Structure formats: structure tokens, C-alpha cells
């Protein structure tokens, strides 16, 4: 599959009617700064900066009982990120599970994200908050990330519409 992050290889694991489960090779995340001090209006944050085909800023948190959307919007547009960044707020649950909220550049709150889940899991493993495989709990459901040289993301897909695209 051709994506904005390059060509990705998918492997079909299961199919039932219009519901599918795929595993995608996400490549190797590049951690550009495991610990980066980000000065914000709402208070300074210790974050991890990553590249997973797009820029990611992963923010470890203890809970989501704060205005993470406002902080996500501030981080997205922070002067350190001239082309903006995606933001993931990551709460460890246990050694193999993290709970994540996403703020996507140009889109705002997002219920799930493949690159965001990959970046969040990579940050959690790099910081010793989790071990592979990592279940990423998102508001839209769980995705699984495993580290085996490359990083592999497993999750559902469902056909919800069909159409025809005509050119010229």
C-alpha cells in the first residue's frame, strides 16, 4: 500500500465478510530525542520526539484528567515544529499495554492512528514503560504493535463504502 510515509507491506491475517485484520510493516521508528524538554504555556513537558514516516511527539502521562486537547494543539504548533507535529498522550497500563489519546496535525483529536500508535509504543518501549508486544488501547479500539527488527502493527479494517472515481 502506498502511503504518505512510503510503501507499506500488509499481510492479511483474518477475513470475515467485510471485516479484515491486517498486519503492516511500519519499518523502524527513528527516535530523534528520547527525552526532550518542551516549554509550554500550561507547563513544561518531558516528551519523546520520533519519526515514523511523519513527525510524532509522544507525551507520557499518568491519566487523562487534564485538557490534553488544548495541550495537543499547543504542542502541534510549537515553534520547535515548524511543519507541525502529531501528538500522542501515553498512559502505561501494564508491561504490555498502553492507553493513548491522539492529536493529529491539521485534524485535531483522532480516535485512532497507526503511526501515532507506532510512535507511542516505541516511546513506551524506549523509556522502559512497556515491553513488546504492546497493546495500544485507543478510543476506537485496540491495535497491537510488536518489535522484531522492524515494527509490525496489527489492527482491523472494514469496508464501509464503495465508489467509482472518474478522471477528466
Q: How far is CA 45 from CA 60, 115, 163, in A?
A: 9, 21, 45
Are 102 and 138 in contact, with CB atoms under 8 Å apart?
yes
CA distance 100 to 89: 5
Cell triple for residue 54? 511523519
Q: What is the pLDDT of residue 160?
A: 85
Are 81 and 55 in contact, with CB atoms under 8 Å apart?
yes
By three-state DSSP, how is residue 70 classified? helix
Are 4 and 83 in contact, with CB atoms under 8 Å apart?
no
- The more confidently predicted of residues 8 and 123 is 123
Q: What is the pLDDT of residue 77?
A: 96
Mean pLDDT of 154-165: 90
What pTM was estimated for this model as a whole?
A: 0.90
Is the predicted pLDDT of residue 2 greater than 80, yes or no? Answer: no
From the DSSP assignment, how many helices (H) and strands (E) are in the chain?
2, 13
Cell triple for residue 148? 522484531
Amino acid at each position: 500500500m502506498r502511503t504518505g510515509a512510503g510503501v507499506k507491506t500488509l499481510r492479511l491475517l483474518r477475513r470475515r465478510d467485510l471485516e479484515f485484520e491486517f498486519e503492516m510493516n511500519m519499518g523502524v521508528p527513528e527516535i530523534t530525542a528520547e527525552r526532550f524538554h518542551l516549554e509550554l504555556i500550561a507547563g513544561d513537558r518531558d516528551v519523546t520526539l520520533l519519526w515514523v514516516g511523519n513527525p510524532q511527539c509522544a507525551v507520557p502521562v499518568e491519566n487523562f484528567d487534564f485538557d490534553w486537547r488544548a495541550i495537543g494543539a499547543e504542542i502541534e504548533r510549537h515553534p520547535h515544529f515548524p511543519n507541525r507535529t502529531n501528538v500522542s498522550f501515553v498512559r502505561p497500563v501494564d508491561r504490555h499495554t498502553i492507553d493513548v489519546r491522539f492529536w493529529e496535525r491539521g485534524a485535531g483529536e483522532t480516535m485512532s492512528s497507526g503511526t501515532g500508535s507506532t510512535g507511542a509504543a516505541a516511546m513506551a518501549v524506549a523509556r522502559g514503560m512497556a515491553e513488546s508486544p504492546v497493546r495500544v488501547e485507543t478510543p476506537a479500539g485496540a491495535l497491537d504493535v510488536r518489535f522484531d527488527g522492524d515494527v509490525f502493527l496489527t489492527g482491523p479494517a472494514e469496508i464501509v463504502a464503495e465508489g467509482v472515481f472518474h478522471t477528466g
